[in-house]
A = this chain, B = another copy of it.
Amino acid sequence: MKIGLIGYGNIGRFLLQSINHNHLIKDGKITAISGRNPELGQKIADEYDAEYIQEVNQLIESDVDLVIEAATVEVVKKHAAAILKSGKDFLVISVGALADQSFYEQLHLICEKFGTKLLLPSGAIGGLDILKAAKSIGQLETVSITTRKPPKALPGAPLDQETVLFSGCAEDAIQKFPQNINVSIILSLAGIGPAKTAVTIIADPKVDKNNHTIEASGSFGKLSVKVENDPMPENPKTSYLAVLSVISALQSKDALIQMG
């Protein structure tokens, strides 16, 4: 599998290291990278034995089988349709782009028509296997998430007392609390949609790491998932699990033994 990568910030470089140097994707290699800074792009491409292609449009015309976006919401909005129409699968990290329901549905139709796949890693959360199973026959009733972060990670939050910064549905959280947008969107898509998913965001001086508690109920029973996220090495702003879930999504894509 030849992979094209858009973006070579911390996450992009972690993927280059994991895939091209540590060979974590069987028969997979990042053969081309694309991004706005040609000098840095060429340097990184050389380091990881890939080709530097400045324009995403040219990457789309290249022979890669799958494209990974590790850039911005704007890159997804601008190029997702063309990538999926070109016959390439597309793994999206900036899932905030999918907050627009009509855009999401448009991509779904394109995948159907062109036989391509949109891959959405589970990011900093999980337990989505249970939500998917529970809703497989339409009997998932409630889904909520409570995110606690250290106050210093939340600009303007009081440093000395627990403060609820947001409480409402995921649809509103996506608009009003973009720092948490990826988690709100992934949970909504895996579960019962942004209008019915409850989101609470708390600045909590008692925690020193981000944590998420997902609760759900339905005909299957009850579920509670708590994840305490350690940050990515050398990048305290990104949950390590979010990056690992990208590797995992790629490993699962063509796995001979599929679990979950």
A260–B121 CA distance with the chains assembled, in angstroms = 5
Question: Beta-carbon contacts of A221-248 to B below 8 Å, as 1s and 0s?
Answer: 1111111111000000001110011011
A22–B136 CA distance with the chains assembled, in angstroms = 11
Cβ–Cβ < 8 Å partners of A126 in chain B: 127, 129-130, 133, 223, 260
Picked from B137, B244, B245, B252, the residue with its CB within 8 Å of the CB of A244 is: B137
Question: Beta-carbon contacts of A75-102 to B below 8 Å, as 1s and 0s?
Answer: 0000000000000000000000000000
A256 touches B129 (CB 8 A): no
Q: How many residues of A contact B (CB 8 A)?
A: 57
Q: How many of these chains are in the complex?
A: 2
B249 touches A186 (CB 8 A): no
A248 touches B122 (CB 8 A): no
With a 10 A CB-CB cut-off, give which of A112, A119, A253 has the most chain B CB atoms.
A119
Cβ–Cβ < 8 Å partners of A73 in chain B: none
Instruction: Kindly state whether residue A132 has any CB partner on chain B within 8 Å.
Output: yes
Instruction: Kindly state whether residue A117 has any CB partner on chain B within 8 Å.
Output: yes
B221 touches A260 (CB 8 A): no
A117–B252 CA distance with the chains assembled, in angstroms = 12
